């Protein structure tokens, strides 16, 4: 009965949203905008969400969420266009798609590949949505048992795990990026005693760093510099005819779709890990489970379906910790968190009390976004592909202007621009030296949560750390943090190697 | 992305910078009230505003040290010495491109936006930024970057010397007119330089259209659509106001 009520409530929510014509227009506009952002190499879903946040300021929360989630969904999916048609992933999330998507296009199957990725992306988003509606309330109610110690450890764990898993070089680099982000979050007057920290007498720093300029700087400026500095050139896109996929192709790949969606949701739920990792892991899983792994990389339909289902399912996964714990699951989700705060929505366990309908509303928006994405994908593919002809030196300067106006217009402070550029240049150098940017941004966002909860927890315990060891969730989080840190040390690796050796010798016997 | 040698060398330098940064911030943190009274509140260590920064800065210093050890172990020190002994020439073209990007962004954000009409700031920024990378011919790239830098230096000196203020006193939109003249001059220079380029005329036309259309769309969208007061509203925005409020 309860499930039927939830389903009914879901469709009521969908009906309420689509009954407002403005919402429908915004939905399709944002999805197409997201697809354009995803398809253009150098632009990402994160940047799309970041720039659109500015435009949603005057909208009501529902319409704003429609715009932002639709651009997120469209952006993650849009990356497949350039992956398949020009062999250049529009976003990192679609990098795995290029491996088999482009060979398919070379075989004259670009339309088929695009049709299948569109459908599998829509299914992936839909499955992710199912997990949001089922898991978020459960995790929220569990999180209600959390005290300040748990929240401090959770924020700390989020930064640490995101640093560990996103670092392309040394794991310490991810941690360093995360802690620099945490340090940046401490700039300004502290929330408890109003003491100015690291302001160095600059009045503009007293209120702290605004999140949006930091995010736009960290994600936008490095993209602009990289694309223009490295002489990025577009190549002629492959031609294609029919896009609508055949049902039997989808039916044949249902196991891949389900497995990839589960991988996507799981990876999305880990703080800070984005759609790119989901795409690669899913690709790897599909290849390992295939009877003909040698066909991978040569135009395998299952490969394209797997990576695209996973990266879109990751959106739902990323929304789960965001809504239930206030911890973003991916870089675009970090942007969404900034946007939610801007609209007066505080994600976390109290969300179900403050706005009881909000999770259902987000679920309905994800559902509508996946439908809008599928329709736009089927109808507008040929038109959207035309934008791949625009040379980057023409659109990147316009993106720079959008970054500037986006950073300025939220706080109406020119100081935000003066802040955005140095943050962007530092982020560019960090990216060049293979530091991940996601942990830095997550550090900036989760810093206040970690700071306030640490001090609040110690106030309650009168300066004692004992509750960490007496509260089960806190203890588990603490042990996981220790394990994450020690997993990077030599003794741990030696023990692991020793155990591995023992195990293999026992097997041989 | 860098190759492994350059990466380890960069790691070594970054590690030292991080340690210096971490330690200096740690010292700054120690100046915060730990057990003293601040604003009538007597502190205990666990509610001190220094507690969290102390934790963060200590970890940054420690991670900097770990990175230093790792970089040294992987030959970062050796690679750095090699580079000092035989300085390799960085790709001059890439460096120039990077400089052009920085010049465009820095002048746009720190020079034009706070002082010049927002429409014109975007116009001159896009005119330069799009042209320099679209035509992408080494000789024009250098000449155009130098020209734009000279224009920016002129405006910087104008504002620094106070002449800009005097000009505005004499004629409210004086600096705006100068920026517009600079933009037209720059575009005429580009037009003259690209005559022999394949697709030169078409690209030039596109750049000109985009440079004008972008602020023409964005300024009204933010000003009248989102009701965001623009950073500096000069002659062109004033004209837009006149037209907008006359119509609506």
Would you state the pLDDT for residue B204? 93
Judge whether residue A435 has pLDDT over 80: yes
In a domain, A211, yes or no: no
Inter-chain CB proximity B66 and A172 less than 8 Å: yes
H helix intervals, A230-274 = 247-252, 254-269
Distance of CA A91 to the CA centre of its chain: 12
Selecting from A58, A176, A225 the residue whose C-beta is nearest the C-beta of B67 gives A176
Contacts of A181 in chain B (CB under 8 A): none
Q: What is the 3-state secondary structure (H, E, C) of A98-136?
A: HHHHHHHHHCCCHHHHHHHHHHHHHHHHHHHHHHHHHHH
Q: Does B57 touch chain A (CB under 8 A)?
A: yes
Q: Does B52 touch chain A (CB under 8 A)?
A: yes
Chain A residues 229-268 with a CB less than 8 Å from chain B: 229-231
Distance CA B22, CA B67 (A): 13
Provide ipTM, 2 decimals: 0.92
Judge whether residue A507 has pLDDT over 70: no
Between vectors from CA A442 to CA A439 and to CA A444, what angle results, nearest 5°? 110
Q: CB neighbours of A49 closer than 8 A, spacing ≥ 6?
A: A68, A71, A72, A75, A332, A335, A336, A339
Contacts of A197 in chain B (CB under 8 A): 29, 32, 49, 53
**A32 to chain B nearest CA, in Å?**
19
Taking CA atoms, A249 is separated from A100, A112, A113, A118, in Å, by 16, 10, 11, 13
Q: Could you tell me the residue range of the domain that residue A300 belongs to?
A: 2-205+220-470
pTM for the full model? 0.84
Task: Work out the pLDDT band at B180, boundaries 50, 70, 90.
Answer: very high
**A430 to chain B: closest CA residue:** B14
Q: Does B13 touch chain A (CB under 8 A)?
A: no
Interface test with chain A among B63, B98, B121, by most A beta carbons within 10 Å:
B63
Measure CA of the first residue to CA of the last residue in chain B; give whole Å. 52
Closest by CA position to A444, among listed A215, A270, A268: A215
Inter-chain CB proximity A224 and B101 less than 8 Å: yes
Contacts of B25 in chain A (CB under 8 A): 183, 198
Inter-chain CB proximity B46 and A405 less than 8 Å: no
Each residue's pLDDT tens digit, A395-406: 889 989 988 988
Contact A360, A133 (CB under 8 A): yes
Distance CA B127, CA B148 (A): 10
Would you state the pLDDT for residue A487? 85
Would you state the pLDDT for residue A237? 64
For residues A414-441, average pLDDT: 91
Each residue's pLDDT tens digit, A95-105: 788 888 888 88
Q: Does A20 touch chain B (CB under 8 A)?
A: no
Each residue's pLDDT tens digit, A463-473: 899 999 999 88
In a domain, A485, yes or no: no
CB atoms closer than 10 angstroms to residue B11: 28
Chain B residues 125-184 with a CB less than 8 Å from chain A: 125-126, 129-130, 133-134, 136
Inter-chain CB proximity A412 and B53 less than 8 Å: no
Q: Does B20 touch chain A (CB under 8 A)?
A: no
Inter-chain CB proximity A455 and B70 less than 8 Å: no
How many Cβ pairs closer than 8 A exist between chain A and B? 162
Taking CA atoms, A380 is separated from A39, A78, A371, in Å, by 13, 12, 14
Would you state the pLDDT for residue B102? 96
**Comparison of pLDDT for A263 and A498, the residue scoring more:** A263
Task: Work out the pLDDT band at B88, boundaries 50, 70, 90.
Answer: low
* Average predicted confidence (pLDDT) for chain B: 89
* pLDDT > 70 fraction of chain B, expressed in percent and rounded: 95
**Comparison of pLDDT for B231 and B75, the residue scoring more:** B231
Chain B residues 94-123 with a CB less than 8 Å from chain A: 94, 97-98, 101-102, 104-106, 108-110, 113-114, 122
Domain count, chain A: 1
Closest by CA position to A341, among listed A258, A411, A280, A433: A411
Judge whether residue B95 has pLDDT over 80: yes
Task: Work out the pLDDT band at B163, boundaries 50, 70, 90.
Answer: confident
Selecting from B25, B67, B210 the residue whose C-beta is nearest the C-beta of A198 gives B25
Would you state the pLDDT for residue A509? 64
Domain-wise residue ranges, chain B:
4-85, 92-247
Contacts of B43 in chain A (CB under 8 A): 193
Inter-chain CB proximity A225 and B101 less than 8 Å: yes
Judge whether residue A1 has pLDDT over 60: no
Task: Work out the pLDDT band at A191, boundaries 50, 70, 90.
Answer: confident
Contact A315, A73 (CB under 8 A): yes
Q: Does B11 touch chain A (CB under 8 A)?
A: yes
Contact A332, A318 (CB under 8 A): yes
Closest by CA position to A488, among listed B66, B3, B59: B66
Would you state the pLDDT for residue B187? 95
In a domain, A305, yes or no: yes
Interface test with chain A among B105, B126, B134, by most A beta carbons within 10 Å:
B105
Task: Work out the pLDDT band at A233, boundaries 50, 70, 90.
Answer: low
Judge whether residue A415 has pLDDT over 80: yes
Task: Work out the pLDDT band at A285, boundaries 50, 70, 90.
Answer: confident
Inter-chain CB proximity A421 and B106 less than 8 Å: yes
Contacts of B1 in chain A (CB under 8 A): 432, 434
Interface test with chain A among B53, B57, B67, by most A beta carbons within 10 Å:
B53
Judge whether residue A407 has pLDDT over 90: no
**A428 to chain B: closest CA residue:** B1
For residues A164-171, average pLDDT: 83
For residues B99-124, average pLDDT: 95
Contact A83, A101 (CB under 8 A): yes
For residues B105-115, average pLDDT: 95
In this structure, what are the phi and psi dihedrals at residue B178, rounded to the nearest 5 degrees? -65, -40
Taking CA atoms, B111 is separated from A217, A472, B107, B122, B211, in Å, by 18, 56, 5, 12, 18
Inter-chain CB proximity B38 and A195 less than 8 Å: yes
Lowest mean pLDDT among A345-354, A486-495, B34-43, B123-132: B34-43
Distance CA A53, CA A502 (A): 54
Would you state the pLDDT for residue B67? 92
Would you state the pLDDT for residue B78? 82
* Average predicted confidence (pLDDT) for chain A: 86
**B169 to chain A nearest CA, in Å?**
23
Each residue's pLDDT tens digit, A333-361: 888 888 888 888 888 888 888 888 898 99
């Amino acid at each position: 009965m309860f499930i039927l009520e939830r389903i009914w409530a879901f469709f009521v929510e969908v009906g309420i949203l689509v009954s407002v014509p403005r919402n429908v227009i915004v939905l399709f506009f944002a999805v197409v905008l997201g697809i354009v952002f995803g398809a253009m190499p150098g632009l990402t879903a994160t940047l799309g969400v970041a720039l659109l946040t500015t435009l949603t300021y005057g909208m009501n929360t529902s319409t704003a969420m429609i715009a932002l989630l639709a651009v997120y969904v469209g952006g993650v999916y849009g990356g497949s266009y350039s992956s398949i048609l020009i062999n250049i992933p529009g976003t990192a999330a679609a990098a795995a798609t290029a491996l088999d998507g482009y060979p398919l296009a070379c075989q004259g199957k670009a339309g088929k590949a695009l049709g299948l990725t569109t459908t599998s992306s829509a299914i992936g988003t839909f499955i992710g949505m199912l997990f949001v509606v089922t898991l978020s309330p459960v995790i929220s109610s569990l999180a209600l048992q959390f005290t300040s110690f748990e929240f401090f450890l959770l924020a700390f764990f989020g930064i640490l795990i995101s640093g560990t898993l996103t670092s392309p070089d040394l794991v310490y680099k991810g941690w360093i990026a995360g802690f620099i982000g945490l340090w940046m979050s401490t700039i300004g007057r502290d929330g408890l005693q109003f003491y100015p920290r690291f302001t160095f007498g600059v009045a503009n720093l007293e209120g702290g760093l605004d999140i949006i300029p930091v995010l736009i700087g960290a994600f936008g400026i490095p993209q602009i510099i990289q694309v223009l500095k490295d002489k990025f050139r577009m190549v002629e896109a492959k031609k294609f005819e029919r896009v609508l996929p055949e049902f039997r192709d989808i039916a044949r790949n249902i196991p891949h779709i389900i497995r990839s969606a589960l991988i996507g949701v799981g990876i999305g739920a880990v703080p800070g890990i984005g759609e790119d990792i989901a795409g690669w892991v899913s690709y790897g899983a599909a290849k390992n489970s295939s009877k003909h792994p040698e066909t991978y990389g040569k135009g395998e339909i299952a490969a394209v379906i797997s990576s695209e289902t996973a990266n879109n399912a990751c959106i739902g996964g990323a929304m789960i910790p965001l809504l239930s714990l206030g911890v973003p699951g991916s870089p675009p989700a970090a942007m969404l968190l900034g946007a939610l705060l801007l609209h007066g929505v505080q994600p976390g366990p109290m969300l179900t009390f403050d706005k009881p309908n909000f999770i259902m509303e987000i679920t309905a928006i994800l559902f509508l976004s996946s439908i809008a994405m599928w329709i736009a994908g089927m109808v507008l593919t040929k038109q959207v592909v035309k934008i791949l002809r625009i040379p980057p030196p023409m659109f990147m300067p316009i993106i720079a202007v959008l970054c500037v106006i986006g950073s300025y217009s939220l706080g109406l402070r020119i100081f935000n621009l003066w802040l955005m550029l140095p943050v962007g240049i530092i982020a560019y150098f960090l990216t060049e030296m293979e530091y991940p940017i996601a942990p830095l941004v997550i550090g900036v966002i989760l810093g206040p949560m970690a700071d306030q909860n640490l001090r609040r927890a110690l106030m309650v315990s009168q300066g004692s750390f004992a509750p960490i060891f007496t509260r089960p969730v806190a203890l588990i989080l603490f042990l996981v943090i220790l394990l994450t840190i020690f997993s990077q040390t030599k003794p741990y690796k030696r023990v692991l190697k020793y155990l591995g050796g023992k195990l293999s010798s026992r097997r041989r016997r | 992305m860098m190759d492994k040698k350059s990466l380890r060398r960069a790691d070594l330098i970054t590690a030292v910078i991080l340690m210096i940064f971490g330690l200096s911030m740690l010292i700054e943190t120690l100046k915060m009230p730990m057990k003293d009274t601040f604003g009538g509140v007597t502190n205990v260590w666990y509610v001190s505003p220094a507690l969290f920064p102390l934790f963060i800065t200590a970890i940054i210093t420690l991670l900097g040290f770990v990175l230093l050890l790792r970089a040294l172990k992987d030959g970062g020190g050796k690679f750095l010495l090699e580079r000092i002994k035989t300085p390799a020439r960085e790709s001059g073209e890439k460096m120039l491109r990077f400089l052009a990007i920085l010049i465009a962004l820095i002048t746009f954000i720190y020079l034009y936006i706070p002082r010049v009409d927002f429409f014109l700031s975007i116009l001159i920024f896009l005119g330069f930024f799009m042209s320099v990378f679209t035509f992408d011919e080494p000789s024009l790239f250098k000449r155009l970057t130098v020209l734009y830098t000279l224009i920016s230096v002129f405006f910087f000196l104008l504002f620094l010397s106070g002449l800009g203020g005097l000009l505005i006193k004499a004629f409210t939109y004086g600096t705006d007119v100068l920026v517009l003249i600079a933009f037209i001059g720059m575009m005429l220079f580009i037009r003259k330089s690209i005559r022999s380029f394949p697709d030169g005329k078409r690209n030039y036309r596109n750049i000109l259209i985009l440079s004008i259309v972008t602020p023409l769309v964005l300024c009204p969208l933010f000003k009248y659509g989102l009701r965001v007061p623009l950073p500096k509203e000069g002659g062109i925005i004033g004209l837009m106001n006149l037209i907008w409020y006359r119509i609506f």
